[in-house]
Structure 1
Amino acid sequence: MRLVESRTTLTITYFVLAIGAFTALFPIALLVLNSLKSAQEIVLNPLALPQTIRWDNFTRAWNDARFSQTFVNSIVLTGMTIILVCVTGSMSAYVLARKKIKSWRLVTGYLLATTTAPIQLFLFPLYFGFAKLGLINNVFAVSLVYTAIYSPFAIMLLRTYFLAVPKELEEAALIDGATHWQVFTKVMLPIVSPGILTVALIIGLYSWNEFLIATTFLQQQDKVTAVVSFFLLSGQYSSDWGEIMAAALIIVLPIVVLFVFLQRRFIEGMAGGSVKG
């Protein structure tokens, strides 16, 4: 009886996983398929195979969206955001994990509130403030906005990793003559590196795909990000859907490749953070 129940459970599990995999992969497969077709073929039947493979969709998308420039802008913006969030988030999380703070509940409430608060609440005040300071079209200034938005999540996640590290390791390092900064950089950071990698991947994904702030604060053509330039491909009255699909695939491909190579570390980091807290 138990063997029959276990087989039934296993069958149901695989069935649910198959549905989940199909749901996740079908949009990507459809994107790849339509990126190789002409606009007329996509309109007639987006599910059909291409009659003629249109490789020129990718070259036109790359040139029309100016990806050679906008990709660099996105990489610089994403890289600066990742560095700022990981540096400030790890230091803040370490302090919150090791120091006894009487108002910890208040700090937790603040971090949760800032994580869930929509950016639209601060967009207009931020824009007017940045305009007065002359920071519009400044990539570093936009990375600071991203850092302020994503840091609460990073702090909450990294704090769980620091809490899991035994205090005896720090005490032993201090007895051996290490400073608090050396304990943090030489002892703690290598131990919580899976959590830092997880934060870096998530923040990188958010920053790469972010649209609202990028299109508000980066308005010059030589400053826009890849996502914004992709949006500008769509015309007001007509659109070349083959070119748009190819451009979307170009933008998505780096994230997919990065996640495929680092998926094991990413899953271990997320699981470790959820268990250790």
Structure 2
Amino acid sequence: MSLGRYAMYGVLLLLALYAIGPMVLFAFNALKTQPGLAASPLGLPTHPQWHNFVDAWQQANMGAGLRNSAVLVIATALGVCVISGCAAYAMSRLRVPGSNFFIFYLLVTTALPIQLFLVPLFYLWTKLGLYDNLFGLIVIYWAIFSPFATLLIRSFMVGVPKAYEEAARIDGAGEWRVLTRVVLPMVWPGFLTAALVAGLSAYNEFMLAVTFIQSSDKMPVSTAFFSFKSGYTQDYTLVSAGGLIMVIPVLIAFLLLQRRFVEGYTSSGMTG
């Protein structure tokens, strides 16, 4: 092999170590005791402590957290697809006055940090009875994840020839039938990509979840790490074990859907 090929393999190996190394170290730390972790934070576990996973699961009530996260992910993904799909169809196919302004507005809203709206949003949600409510958190996720999803799905719809829709309208189809029977089957990779992005973002989101959810039985799994703190100290072995438990569902979902996700994201034209 040529020198260039060796160099390419070397760079790929470094990138693989950069990506996998932290997860391997995380797994090692999850199998150590607290003194063992303090003595050798980068070394192998000498006596694996498998009970750390059981302790993390029970102490953080991760079963309830995963169940709540599943509700958040599914509801967020479905809601974002419905909201963004309708908005994208309107901006790409219907003659909406000021559609260019709406596109600019969506670009601006995706750039604004949610921290700017925390105080008024907290006050409003308290008045509406949506505080400490999973549905209230889902509505917030719909609002913050829909702008990007709208632009993503719109980029798919722009590439669909209008001749198919015109033929359907000649046959008497209305706008809803054109959207669901003609456009949707051709742009479903865009909906799948938007659902995956919104779902993974909702699963990993922490700040809004810990701000708007107070009851321990309603908290998603991303807030479980508070349970491993005792006074001013934190059990990092349980943090590592709980982190691995949290990562496993996302890793499985990504491995199953990575081809569709990458194809949909790259073919949309949103990667620049």
1:112 touches 1:152 (CA, 8 Å); kept in 2? yes
Residue 217 of structure 2 corresponds to residue 222 of structure 1: yes
Deviates more, 1:161-170 or 1:102-111: 102-111
3-state DSSP class of the match of 2:230? coil
- Deviation per CA, 1:159-217: give whole Å up to 9, x if none: 01001111011112222232221111112112111111111111111101111111111
Match of 2:198 in 1: 203
Residue 87 of structure 2 corresponds to residue 121 of structure 1: no
Residue 234 of structure 2 corresponds to residue 239 of structure 1: yes
- Please give the residue correspondences for 1:124-163 in structure 2 after superposition, counting only pairs within 5 Å: 124-163=119-158
What is the rounded CA distance, in whole Å, between the counterparts of 1:198 and 1:176 in structure 2?
31
| C-alpha displacement of 1:275 | 7.2
Residue 34 of structure 2 corresponds to residue 39 of structure 1: yes
- Please give the residue correspondences for 1:22-37 in structure 2 after superposition, counting only pairs within 5 Å: 22-37=17-32
| C-alpha displacement of 1:14 | 3.1
Residue 175 of structure 2 corresponds to residue 180 of structure 1: yes
Given residue 19 of structure 1, which amino acid in structure 2 is its aligned partner? Answer: L
1:49 counterpart (25, 40, 44)? 44
Pair 1:185–1:144, CA change in 2 (3 A): same
Match of 1:95 in 2: 90
2:152 touches 2:270 (CA, 8 Å); kept in 1? no
Report how many aligned residue pairs link the two structures. Answer: 272
2:85 touches 2:150 (CA, 8 Å); kept in 1? yes
Structure 2 unpaired stretches of 5+: none
| C-alpha displacement of 1:230 | 2.0
What is the rounded CA distance, in whole Å, between the counterparts of 2:167 and 2:226 in structure 1?
55
Match of 1:273 in 2: 268
Deviates more, 1:168-177 or 1:83-92: 168-177
3-state DSSP class of the match of 1:37? coil
What is the rounded CA distance, in whole Å, between the counterparts of 2:83 and 2:134 in structure 1?
19
Structure 1 unpaired stretches of 5+: none
Deviates more, 1:11-20 or 1:31-40: 11-20
2:59 touches 2:227 (CA, 8 Å); kept in 1? no
What is the rounded CA distance, in whole Å, between the counterparts of 1:97 and 1:15 in structure 2?
45
Q: Percent identity?
A: 41
Residue 20 of structure 2 corresponds to residue 19 of structure 1: no
What is the rounded CA distance, in whole Å, between the counterparts of 1:252 and 1:226 in structure 2?
10
What is the rounded CA distance, in whole Å, between the counterparts of 1:102 and 1:237 in structure 2?
57
Given residue 166 of structure 2, which amino acid in structure 1 is its aligned partner? Answer: E
| C-alpha displacement of 1:276 | 10
What is the rounded CA distance, in whole Å, between the counterparts of 1:168 and 1:209 in structure 2?
41
Match of 1:86 in 2: 81
What is the rounded CA distance, in whole Å, between the counterparts of 1:13 and 1:101 in structure 2?
50
1:38 touches 1:241 (CA, 8 Å); kept in 2? no
Across the aligned residues of Structure 1 and Structure 2, the Cα RMSD in angstroms comes to 1.8
Pair 1:102–1:254, CA change in 2 (3 A): same
2:80 touches 2:142 (CA, 8 Å); kept in 1? yes
TM-score, structure 1 normalization: 0.93
Pair 1:99–1:8, CA change in 2 (3 A): farther
